[in-house]
Homo-oligomer: A and B are copies of this chain.
């Protein structure tokens, strides 16, 4: 399931809804991305997440489909926020549920790695020197790249 929203989310309630009644699930791996107050040397006051409505949902649904093809997953949830977020706020939740924990871990990591290089979101940081668009990181490309070697 994919959700792109401005509002915050409750991780406990989301995971509960995701797994309720599915008693074949042995493990749920989740990743939550938070806004940090530093990025490299820069202090960050807040950031604004811009996205491409429509394409975002399509890309996330494609990524979810790819994960379901690769691993035996009982449930998948991706929630990504947009708008202005302050340090400590939640940006993204990725959760995967499977009978076995290794599939849940691998799929969760695959989803966040791919999301970071495919989903059309852009971060504008508020710094003491003014607003600054975040550069894409080579480390994110490398993280996504390892999933293409399979």
Residues of chain A whose beta carbon lies under 8 Å from any beta carbon of chain B: 10-16, 19-38, 87-88, 99, 101-102, 104-105, 108-109, 112, 143
Given A31-B29, A31-B104, A101-B112, residue A37 in contact with residue B24 (CB < 8 A): yes
Give every chain B residue within 8 A of A12 (Cβ-Cβ). 10-15
Question: Per a CB cutoff under 8 Å, which of B15, B29, B30, B88 touches A19?
Answer: B88
* Copies of this chain, count: 2
CB-based nearest B residue for A140: B101
Given A31-B105, A101-B112, residue A24 in contact with residue B38 (CB < 8 A): yes
Pairwise interchain contact B23-A28, C-beta atoms closer than 8 A: no
Complex Cα–Cα for A11 and B109 (A): 19
Pairwise interchain contact A36-B109, C-beta atoms closer than 8 A: no
Pairwise interchain contact B105-A109, C-beta atoms closer than 8 A: yes
CB-based nearest B residue for A25: B34
Give every chain B residue within 8 A of A105 (Cβ-Cβ). 31, 105, 108-109
CB-based nearest B residue for A26: B36
